[in-house]
Amino acid sequence: MNPIVFPGGLVLLQIALRTLTVYAIVLIGVRLSGKREVGQMTPFDLTLLLLLSNAVQNAMTGSDTSVIGGATAAITLLGVNYVVAELASHSRKVRRVLRGDPAVLIHNGKVMERTRAREHVGMDDLEEGLREHGIATIEEVALAVLEVDGNISFLKYDDVDTDQKVRHRVKFLHKH
């Protein structure tokens, strides 16, 4: 058989294993880079993502440029992504590892600077979120949470009956 079309079983197994390894490394890297939606990506984030995908291509297929080799890498990526999604949908622990936890950015009108810095949320991003939600100042916010999908949720004091509810919500976020 022509090696350009069908490289052989051992080569395909190597491609699958290399692809799984690269998937795990990229998944860990993306997870560590923080919570940001695709729609919130900066030009820097998009450039990094494009270069990253190009950089890992050869690590997955090596010198194999066959159609079957590329298909093996693609099928492996799709398959492992499906398995990971299934595991996450059935296990809170897996979901927390993969997606992370919500993070409190503002509590009782005060910015949680450590959390903001750890989550790589700039003051400009926080202020933009305030404007998008029609909130004039940080002091009006009882609670702001960076959700696992990268959105920031805001609760104004007007939306909360008592400080007790805000304290309960913060405790809930730290437990889960």
**Does residue 132 register a pLDDT over 70?**
yes
- The better pLDDT of the pair 65, 130 is held by 130
β-sheet bridge partners, residue 155: 143
Domain final residue pick, 98, 119, 139: 98
The pLDDT tens digits of the residues spanning 30-50 come to: 777 666 555 566 676 777 777
Same domain, 83 and 112: no
Phi, psi of 153 (to 5 degrees): -95, 140
- Is residue 77 a part of any domain in this protein? yes
- Is residue 133 a part of any domain in this protein? yes
**Residues 95-98: contacts with CB within 8 Å, 24+ apart?**
96/176, 98/27, 98/31
**Does residue 158 register a pLDDT over 70?**
yes
- Is residue 73 a part of any domain in this protein? yes
Q: Which domain, by its residues, includes 15? A: 9-98
Taking the complete model, does pTM exceed 0.75, yes or no?
no
Helix (H, G, I), strand (E, B) or coil at 162: coil
β-sheet bridge partners, residue 143: 107, 155
Q: Are 111 and 139 in contact (CB under 8 A)?
A: no
- Is residue 4 a part of any domain in this protein? no
Same domain, 74 and 19: yes
Domain final residue pick, 98, 129, 146: 98
